[in-house]
């Protein structure tokens, strides 16, 4: 074991954690404002990968696919929120949970019908193939690109929420939607946009991870579990928690795979248990949010 190998594995964990960050931010954003536990999030992640495959085949351009995927998947999220989720507001947290769980199963079956059961290849674009020397060794260029895109999206989302008037409305609506209604804000429009942004982030995570994983109909199942672990560790509804916990989980999985490969799949659950024993609401969560 050398220091360079250790640091390279650490960078691998950051790249893995970047996918978790994008997924967990979408989950936290939707839950923080709408109090909807979106069990279809993994399915939207999977749809993002398949939409990327379709657009790549249609245009032959990875960059076009990357730009269009969040808009396509986000538009799907708008439709789901407006016609499926919205009628269930005020009926308790279980109703949208069951709805999105069923929706996820439906989306998986639809993809199986359209694309088949076999995996679909998604190659790394030519411009991002190979590896670069980052000072401690050679690291895949595409994974560095993944980290850079995640940083850009997180910073962009933070600027949107903190520096724009619509972001101010979103943050205020998360704290007291009734006051926003009294002030004349169409809070249902805010919910619609937030759900679209959250699902769009899941779509981006799907297309970005597609070159590193197999694009199959069930690819969203396991990643949904990981995304919820990240969200719980960070704190339900906390965007900062989603970022910190996403990187933590990615690094812990990666480092455990290096030292104790047989425990890699359990490492994130051990972390979650340890965090919840100390802080039941997660690292940055608020007490009583689920109530």
How far is residue 105's CA from residue 107's CA, in Å, rounded to a whole number?
6
Look at residue 177 and tell me whether its pLDDT is greater than 80. no
The pLDDT value given to residue 1? 65
The pLDDT value given to residue 150? 96
The pLDDT value given to residue 290? 46
Confidence of residue 287 (pLDDT cuts 50, 70, 90): low
**For the chain, percent of residues with pLDDT exceeding 90:** 68
How far is residue 105's CA from residue 109's CA, in Å, rounded to a whole number?
6
Look at residue 291 and tell me whether its pLDDT is greater than 50. no
- 66-95 tens-digit pLDDT: 999 999 999 999 999 999 999 998 888 899
SS (H, E, C) 184-209: CCCHHHHHHHHHHHHHHHHHHHHHHH
How far is residue 257's CA from residue 213's CA, in Å, rounded to a whole number?
17
Model-wide pTM > 0.85: yes
Mean pLDDT of 109-137: 91
Look at residue 47 and tell me whether its pLDDT is greater than 80. yes
Look at residue 12 and tell me whether its pLDDT is greater than 50. yes
The pLDDT value given to residue 165? 86
């Amino acid at each position: 074991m050398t220091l360079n190998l250790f640091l390279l594995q650490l960078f691998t964990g950051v790249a893995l954690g970047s996918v978790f960050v994008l997924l967990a931010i979408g989950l936290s954003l939707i839950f923080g404002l709408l109090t909807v536990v979106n069990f279809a999030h993994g399915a939207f992640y999977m749809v993002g990968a398949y939409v990327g495959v379709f657009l790549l085949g249609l245009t032959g351009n990875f960059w076009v696919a990357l730009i269009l995927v969040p808009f396509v998947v986000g538009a799907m999220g708008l439709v789901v929120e407006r016609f499926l989720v919205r009628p269930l507001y005020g009926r308790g947290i279980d109703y949208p949970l069951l709805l999105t769980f069923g929706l996820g199963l439906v989306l998986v079956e639809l993809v199986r019908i359209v694309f088949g059961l076999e995996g679909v290849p998604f190659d790394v674009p030519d411009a991002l193939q190979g590896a670069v020397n980052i000072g401690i060794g050679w690291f895949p260029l595409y994974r560095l690109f993944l980290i850079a895109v995640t940083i850009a999206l997180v910073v962009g989302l933070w600027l949107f929420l903190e520096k724009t008037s619509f972001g101010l409305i979103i943050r205020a609506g998360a704290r007291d939607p009734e006051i926003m209604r009294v002030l004349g804000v169409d809070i249902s429009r805010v919910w619609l946009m937030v759900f679209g942004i959250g699902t769009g982030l899941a779509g981006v995570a799907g297309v970005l991870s597609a070159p590193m994983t197999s694009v199959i109909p069930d690819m969203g199942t396991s990643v949904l579990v990981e995304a919820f672990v990240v969200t719980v560790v960070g704190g339900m509804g906390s965007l900062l928690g989603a970022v910190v916990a996403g990187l933590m989980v990615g690094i812990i999985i990666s480092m455990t795979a290096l030292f104790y490969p047989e425990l890699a799949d359990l490492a994130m659950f051990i972390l979650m248990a340890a965090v919840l024993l100390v802080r039941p609401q997660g690292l940055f969560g608020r007490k009583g949010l689920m109530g």
